[in-house]
A and B are shown apart, each in its own frame.
Chain A
Amino acid sequence: MRTFSLAITFLLFLFISLILLGLVFYSPLSVLAQSLTNPEIQFAVILSLVTSVISTIVCIVVAVPSSYALARYSFPGKWLVTLVLTLPLTLPPLVAGIALLLFFGTTPWGKALENAGFSVIFTPLGIIVAEVFVNLPFMIRIMRSAFSAVNPRFEYVAKTLGCTDTSAFLQVTLPMASHGLFAGAAITWSKSMGEFGAVLMLAGATTMRTETLPIALYLNISAGNLDLAVAAATILIVISLCTLCLVEYLEKDVNVF
């Protein structure tokens, strides 16, 4: 069993390494370097960075209070609320994207938002909305388990020492859950950088407008610009690798699913 399982493990390791290295070294380094300076790729990098950072911040701001509520309080219908809040986790991003498109495009609420200046269809703002919608459940799941791991008695003691509910949360519970927060933020950010399906549906794939890195990869491979596509893919691989290392370093047992 030992030989067999180790053999399978090493074969997989070789297989995955070969595939990824094959992609990274597909084009000669000089060509890769040149592709990285291409204005389209640079636009995609910047757009991806800006949208993913904003959507990660939105996710944190929304997920922290709601996951705290799920971890601490009991209320009627909690199971249903939990189910709906975390449903997008298993929903294919394309389905999430088309649902968002219909919501913002055809419903009176969506139109009201559009008239109020919150225009999301085929705009960079749509990229952020799609990323938040798809990635929020991850953040909520991770933060909920991080908050659940903090014994409420820490808060009780903090209150006897002069804290209000809010200051006990900010000074005790949140710092004690900070590893979960950082790990969750890193995962959310990395997933936002790579989000494709939902972004494609809601924000479209317009060159130099809603062109994030994955969209750039898609558009360039469709047009046959293999070098540019590989450049975009290489950046995404590097980002994934860094995120994984960061998360491993921060918290060995953060529960992603």
Chain B
Amino acid sequence: MLRIESISVNLGKFSIRNISLEIKSNEYFIIIGPSGAGKTILLETIVGIHAPLSGMVWLDNKNITALSPHKRNIGMVYQDYMLFPHLSVEDNIAFGLKQKKVPREEQKKMVEECSDLLNISDLLSRFPVTLSGGEQQRIALARALVLKPELLLLDEPMNALDSCTRDRMRMELSRIRKLTGTTIIQITHHFDDVYTLADRIALMKDGEIVQVGEPENVFQHPSDTFVAEFLGIGNIIRGYGTRSGNLTEIKTTKGQVFYAASPVTGDVVATLHPEDVIISRAPFASSARNCMNGTVSELISSGSTIRVILDVGFSLMALLTRESCSELHLELGTKVFATFKASAVHLIPVS
């Protein structure tokens, strides 16, 4: 779909070096990394604002490196929405259609369809300054989506929203993506976006890409200490939550069951810090709600600690000191019990 081959861009203050990436059709790709890593420049280069010093950009096997932005059919939504303040909401959404000289009647129809999709039909005659952040965000999305872009780039689209609106917007993005089948690249600072939306993620630091992969994989196998420290949380488990007393019972896609102290139900992503997982040779009586048996599938040492990857039906990571590890005689294939509290499990709703 999109292929970036060793792109370098230098804008003085910010630069990116030798970046190569491949985004698949229909993929939801998330780029994370500290600020100043060059994430926005990368998106702006993909969309054609900055000309790279070297390297090439391919879209559907067409070299678009030198193509001007207005011929690329790639949509872009910024963190601050960048709605044109002198135009009404309707004219903002129709802006791209007008450039393409779409007949007026058709413009109106497409704008209506798109605003129905995003539930903003009643805002069409208003002006951007009178709208809330969430509403502006929907309009910015509509303005890009109405052109049916091959690729949609989102630059921290939910950063300026409060956490409640952000949760709703996240579900909206996931719904839109399912409905339209648009390929999406998003920059974010929020791990909740990564857990719930991303098919694959890339980590950027100092203008370079440090690691690319599926989120579960990257979280469990960080390529270096920077990635490990930046990402932090190690376990991402997908499942379906139902209410069970005061807890939520989560059934994973492969059938295992565990409990979380959270009111969230339905399709969920559960996150769990590896240091909250206790490993023992035998089951023991404790206040922890979850105890699962499994086998050690991987041991990764990093400094004074060892990350133990267990196969408990799904892949579960625990963080142990070297001492504990040798006292328990952990080796590949060792049968162990993993215990963790329901309150250590954090649930994020997926639409």
| A92 within 8 Å of B (CB atoms) | no
Question: Which of A154, A156, A178 has a CB less than 8 Å from the CB of B84?
Answer: A154
Contact of B82 with A164 in the complex, beta carbons under 8 Å: no
Chain B residues whose CB sits within 8 angstroms of the CB of A178 once the complex forms: 86
Cross-chain contact A156 with B49 (CB below 8 angstroms): yes
The answer to the question of A158 belonging to the interface, with a C-beta cut-off of 8 Å to chain B, is: yes
Asked if A252 is at the interface (CB within 8 A of a chain B CB), the reply is: no
Instruction: Out of A151, A161, A164, A175, name the residue touching B95 (CB < 8 Å).
Output: A161
- Tell me, rounded to whole Å, the shortest Cβ–Cβ distance linking A119 to chain B: 43
CB neighbours (8 Å) of B86 from chain A are 175-176, 178
Q: Which of A156, A171, A178 has the most CB of B within 10 A?
A: A156
* Residues in chain A near residue B76, CB distance under 8 A: 156-157, 160
Chain B residue nearest to A178 (CB atoms) is B86
Q: Are A164 and B70 in contact (CB under 8 A)?
A: yes
> Is A162 on the interface with B (CB-CB < 8 A)?
yes
Restricting to A126-164, which residues have a CB under 8 Å from any CB of B?
A: 151, 153-154, 156-164
Give which listed residue, A151, A163, A167, A175, contacts B82 with CB less than 8 A: A151
A126 to chain B, nearest CB (A): 39
Chain B, residue nearest A152 (CB): B49
- Whether the Cβ atoms of B82 and A153 lie closer than 8 Å is yes
Residue of A nearest to B87 (CB): A175
CB pair B78 A153 closer than 8 Å: yes
Q: Which of A157, A167, A171 has the most B CB atoms < 10 Å from its CB?
A: A157
State which of A151, A162, A172, A176 has its C-beta within 8 Å of the C-beta of B70.
A162
Taking CB atoms, residues of chain A closer than 8 Å to B85 are 176
Residues of A within 8 A of B68 (CB): 159, 164
**Is B74 located at the chain interface by the 8 A CB criterion?**
yes
Given A151-B82, A172-B84, A176-B85: A160 and B95 within 8 A (CB)? no
B143 cross-chain contacts in A, Cβ below 8 A: 161
**Known contacts A162-B100, A167-B99; is A157 also within 8 Å of B70 by CB?**
no
Cβ of B215 within 8 Å of any chain A Cβ, yes or no, is no
Q: Mark A215-228, 1 if CB is under 8 A from B, else 0.
A: 00000000000000
Residues of B in contact with A, size category: 20 to 34
Nearest-neighbour CB distance to chain A for B149, whole angstroms, equals 8
- CB closest residue in chain B, given A74: B12
Q: Give A160 to B74 CA distance when docked, in angstroms.
A: 6
Q: In the complex, what residues of A have CB within 8 A of residue B84's CB?
A: 154, 158, 172, 175-176
Of A156, A163, A175, which contacts B47 at CB under 8 A?
A156
Contacts of B47 in A (CB 8 A): 156, 160
Closest to B153 in A: A160
Task: Note all chain A residues with C-beta closer than 8 A to B147.
Answer: 161-162
Contacts of B75 in A (CB 8 A): 160
- Give the CA-CA distance A75 to B1 in the complex, in Å: 37
Which partner residue on chain A sits nearest B75 by CB separation?
A160
Contact between chains at B99 and A157 (CB < 8 Å):
no
Q: Which residues of A contact B241 (CB under 8 A)?
A: none
Contact with B along A48-87 (1 / 0, CB 8 A): 0000000000000000000000000000000000000000
Across-interface contacts of B95 in A (CB, < 8 A): 158, 161, 171
A156 to chain B, nearest CB (A): 5
Q: Report A7 CB to chain B, min CB distance, Å.
A: 41
Contact A163 B70 (CB under 8 A): yes
Q: Are the CB atoms of A160 and B82 closer together than 8 Å?
A: no
Q: A residues 167-194 with Cβ under 8 Å of B?
A: 167, 171-172, 175-176, 178
- Chain B hits for A151, CB < 8 A: 80, 82
The answer to whether B69 has its CB under 8 Å from any CB of chain A is yes
B191 CB, nearest partner CB in chain A, Å: 26
Q: What is the bound-complex CA distance between A157 and B78, given in angstroms?
A: 8
Residue B134 at the chain A interface, CB threshold 8 Å: no
Of the residues A159, A167, A176, contact of B48 by C-beta under 8 Å: A159
Which of B48, B69, B100: most chain A CB closer than 10 A? B69
**Cα distance, A89 to B95, chains bound together (Å):** 39
Q: How far is B83's CA from A172's CA once the two chains are assembled, in angstroms?
A: 10
- Residues of B with C-beta under 8 A to A175: 84, 86
Residues of chain A within 8 A (CB-CB) of B266 are: none
Mark each residue of chain B from 59 to 92: 1 if its CB lies under 8 Å from any CB of chain A, else 0: 0000000001110101110101010111000000
Nearest opposing residue in chain A for B44, CB measure:
A156
Distance (whole angstroms) from the CB of A202 to the closest CB of chain B: 40
**Contact of B181 with A by CB under 8 A:** no
Whether a CB of chain A sits under 8 angstroms from the CB of B260 is no
Taken together as a complex, chains A and B put the C-alpha atoms of A59 and B84 apart, in Å, by: 27
In the complex, chain A residues whose CB is within 8 Å of the CB of B69: 156, 159-160
A169 to chain B, nearest CB (A): 13
> B96 contacts the other chain (Cβ, under 8 Å)?
yes
Q: Which residues of B contact A159 (CB under 8 A)?
A: 48-49, 68-70
Contact of B99 among A153, A156, A161, A176 (CB under 8 A): A161
Tell me whether B144 is interfacial, beta carbon within 8 Å: yes
Smallest CB–CB gap between A183 and chain B, Å?
16
A2-59 with Cβ < 8 A to chain B: none
Kindly list the 4 A-B residue pairs having the minimum CB-CB distance in the complex, ordered from nearest: A162-B99, A161-B96, A159-B69, A160-B76
List 11 A-B pairs, Cβ < 8 Å.
A151-B80, A153-B82, A156-B49, A157-B76, A159-B68, A160-B75, A161-B143, A162-B96, A162-B99, A164-B68, A175-B86
Known: A159-B49, A161-B147. 12 other contacts (CB 8 A): A153-B82, A156-B49, A156-B76, A157-B76, A157-B78, A160-B72, A160-B144, A162-B70, A163-B99, A164-B70, A171-B95, A172-B84
